[in-house]
Amino acid sequence: MAKGRYHHGDLRTALLDAAEALVRERGVDGWSLREASARVGVSPSAAYHHFASRDTLVRALSERTLAWLGEHLRQECERAPAQRSDPQQRLVALARGYVNWALEDPAVARLVLRGGATGPHSSIPTHPHDVLTAELDRLAEAGGLPAPGRQGAEFVLWAAIHGLAVLLADGLIRIDGSQAVDLQTERVVRSALNGLAQETSPAAGWPAAHSAHTERLARRRSTPEVD
């Protein structure tokens, strides 16, 4: 957006849009809050009313993107063909949505899919992790994932899906054509799910995995609500 074109609209959203464009052009770290302000056409002091620093702006952009991604993945699951004979189909659709997004928008994907992208107080409606968890619960309820395999399955499946996305985005794996990428994604998901379905838990149980989001959820559950 050219300088001087911003007038009295939603400055916060305009700054987030400018930051997103800069990420796509220059990567995660190749720009400043001052540049985002100039692109919108306001002074840095005006931007500071909404974002105390560049890091604050980046975190807000990460939160917005994750919320968008979560809703996008939820919709991909809902659009999947309803097949009782194939209870894995919704998770295949989720994985394809994730991988294709990471390939189509790699700079923004790198922004949000890294450590420190969100903080302890981040609020993200429809977080991608929650969508994945809900779909695994649905699969388990349909009899497609026994209890031993369900334990921590979201981290196993996330590792498989995210790993494929990163390897493709970085060119370490090359697959020609979007249909071929979708097929490879489906193979990874079904292989992971079929392996989980055959698991038996060790006597001590599987290691408990955590993420910034699951730790936020745990803190909220353990904090009593104040009337």
By CB neighbour count within 10 A (0-12 exposed, 13-18 middle, 19+ buried), where does 112 fall? buried
Report how far residue 39's alpha carbon sits from residue 18's, in angstroms, rounded to the nearest whole number: 7
Main-chain phi, psi angles of 195, to 5 degrees: -65, -45
pTM over 0.85: yes
Q: What is the pLDDT along the chain (227 residues), one digit of tens a residue?
A: 344 455 556 999 999 999 999 999 999 898 999 999 999 999 999 999 999 999 999 999 999 999 999 999 999 999 998 777 899 999 999 999 999 999 999 999 999 988 888 888 899 999 999 999 999 999 999 999 999 999 999 999 999 999 999 999 999 999 999 999 999 999 999 999 999 999 988 888 888 899 989 999 998 888 765 44
State how far the alpha carbon of 150 is from the alpha carbons of 42, 126, 192, 215, in Å.
Answer: 51, 21, 12, 19
- Measuring CA to CA, which residue among 146, 147, 154 is closest to residue 217? 154
- Which H or E run contains 158? helix 153-169
* Structure-token match 């994730």, residue found: 98
What are the structural domains, with CATH classification, of the chain? 1-52 (1.10.10.60), 65-222 (1.10.357.10)
